[in-house]
Amino acid sequence: SGIGKVAAAVCAAELIRRYSPDFLINVGVSGGMGDAVELLDTVVSTAVCYHDVSCGCDVAWGQVQGFPLYYPVSDGLLTIIRSLPVPVREGLVCCGDRFLSSSEEQDFVCRTFPGIKAVDMESAAVAQTAYIYDTPFIAMRVISDIAGEGHDNYAEYTAFWRTASPSTFAVLESLLKAI
C-alpha cells in the first residue's frame, strides 16, 4: 500500500471491494516499543489503535469518535498463529502518521497504551477499514528499530534494510500454509 494511513486505508478498501477476501493480513515494518521486543522480532497484533488521534475531551486519546479505541483482531487468525512453530511476540500495535522521534513522545505512547509492542504508520487504518467492512483482520510487523534511550533509531532502521533476512517472514509463510 505504501507508507501512511491514507494509502493503507485506500488499499484495504479496494482489496475488500474488488476481491471480497475472507480476511486481511497487514504485514510490514514497525518500530519496537515497550518491554521484551528486539530487532527482527515478529510482532502479531492482539489489538490495534491510533496513537495520534484526538477527537476532544469526551473521547479517549487515540479513539476516532464513533469507533472503538482498540480495533479487534481475528481470533481465528490469532489462534492459528499461536499454533505455529515460529517465534512471535504478541501485543498492541499503535499507529500514527509520524515517527516518534523524541523520548517524550515515546513515553507518552507507552503510558497511554499499555501493552504496546510496535508502532507503525498503517495498521490502524487497515484495522478501521476492516472494521467498517466487517472483514477479519490481523497485523504482523517485523521490528526494524527500537524506540527509547540507548538506541539510534535511524541507524537501526537503515541497517534493517541491509540485514533483514528472509527468515523474518517465516511467520507469514507458515500462516499462509496453515490457512
Between CA 144 and CA 14 the distance in angstroms is: 28
Between CA 151 and CA 10 the distance in angstroms is: 33
Please give the grid coordinates belonging to residue 163.
540485514
DSSP label at 102? S
In sequence order, which residues have a C-beta less than 8 Å from that of residue 24 and are 6 or more positions away?
A: 12, 15, 16, 126, 130, 135, 136, 137, 138
DSSP string, 74-90: -HHHHHHHHHSSS--EE
**pLDDT (tens digit, 0 to 9) for every residue of the chain, 179 residues total?**
888 899 999 999 999 999 999 999 999 888 888 768 888 889 999 999 999 999 998 999 999 999 999 999 999 999 999 999 888 899 999 999 887 777 788 889 989 999 999 999 999 999 999 999 999 999 999 888 887 656 666 667 666 666 665 656 778 888 889 98
Helix (H, G, I), strand (E, B) or coil at 31: strand
